[in-house]
Amino acid sequence: MHQIRRQRPDSTRGICRNVCSKRHFRRSPVDIITDVLLRMNLPMTALRGQTYDGTSSMAGQYNGCQALVRQKYPLAVYVHCGAHCDCVNLVMEAVAACSPHLRDPVQWVHELGTLSHQSHKFKNMFAGNAGDAYSTYRNLRPLCPTRWSVRVDSIRRVLSQYAAVLDTLHEYGRTNASTESKSRVSGLYERFSKGNTLMCLKMAVSVFEVLENLCTALQGRQVSVSGMMEAVSQTKTRLAVLRNDDNFTVLFQSAERTVSELDIEPIQLPRQTRPPRRRETCTSSDAHIFHSASEFYKPIYFTVIDTALQSLHSRFNQQSFSVVKELEECVLSGDMAEIVKQYPEVDATRLAVQLPMFRSSFDYSNVSQAVTALQSVSPETR
């Protein structure tokens, strides 16, 4: 008897061959970077800097691409892209995600801005209500998906025009719009009619505004590493000042006054849920019970500030920043630094003579101006 063997279709065999070949030739980012630079006749021994985003595969401290490259080439310093404010955006993202009491109201602001952007009827109704209530008004807009500094302005627009937002949501729910739209608006009206939502948005803006100033400062074209580190230090000092009972009391009382003026649901102690008994890890007597809304929101306020401080420290307190800062100070001051002697392509003896001459001949305050000054002279003078 002849055994009949089933053959896989040719297309399936082709797919399997492609998958096997991709697995066989799969390479790490380090191998790809090395291959590309070598093909361009750029030796890896001359690599002096790396800049990637904040993903663990590229910026990981131990197994990231930058760490693996520095194992072979220690002079290839890695610096997170601070000039584009990626670090500050990641800090603000961590702050928004540190507590659901902050995360959810921010998301509701995004839904409100999306509704205003998609519905011309809602947008026109808001323009009419805001125009009657305020001398000048600004349209609502959704949150930017990447730039957190722009999100702060969207939240600020809602807070500054809160009464018009509530009136528009209430009126839109009575129009002949679709059932889906009215159900969506009804949910937003219920959320924004609560003083707890207003309190959380004010709490978010109080911290986001400080980080927004840092983000704006780092966007300057003349920014330096030393100036960036000084701005981060000032921001951390300001956040530390905000972290006290008096500032929280002022913030909470301001939210209460606004709630009273808008005549919406007062700031209340949220309903405290208990986990099922099978998942309880402590007795009911050990669980803390809050007796007022102020007592409930105070630790959340402190957690938000602590998250911002911790994220700033982890993002900007890198060893590579100190290396770049020393090299920058060497150019700006005209004084020779010991760190320069690590670079084999630099003649430290000649540079010790040339740096003071260059500094006394030109007036500059950052590296970009120093580069422009150097390019402006003849090759013989260089």
Q: Which domain holds residue 175?
A: 89-266+293-316
Where do we find the tokens 């993202």? 93
Give residue 240's Cα distance to chain centre: 19
Residues 181 and 119 in one domain: yes
Same domain, 116 and 144: yes
Q: Are residues 234 and 127 in the same domain?
A: yes
- pLDDT tens-place values along the chain, 382 residues long: 344 334 444 444 443 344 344 443 467 888 888 889 989 999 888 999 888 877 778 888 888 898 899 999 989 988 876 544 567 888 888 898 999 999 999 999 999 999 999 899 999 999 999 999 888 889 998 888 777 667 888 999 999 999 999 999 999 988 888 888 889 999 999 999 999 999 999 999 999 999 988 888 887 667 778 888 888 999 999 999 999 999 999 999 999 999 999 999 999 988 776 667 666 565 555 567 788 899 999 999 999 999 999 989 888 877 788 888 888 889 888 888 888 888 988 888 898 998 999 999 898 888 888 888 888 888 877 7
Residue at 277 is within a domain: no
The H or E element that residue 230 is part of is: helix 225-242
For residue 226, being part of any structural domain is answered with: yes
Q: Are residues 108 and 166 in the same domain?
A: yes
Q: How many helices (H) and strands (E) does the chain have?
A: 17, 2
Same domain, 128 and 161: yes
Residues across the chain: 382
Residue 223 maps to a domain: yes
Instruction: Give this prediction's pTM.
Output: 0.78
Residue 32 domain-assigned (yes or no): yes
User: How many alpha carbons fall within 13 Å on the CB side of residue 30?
Assistant: 15
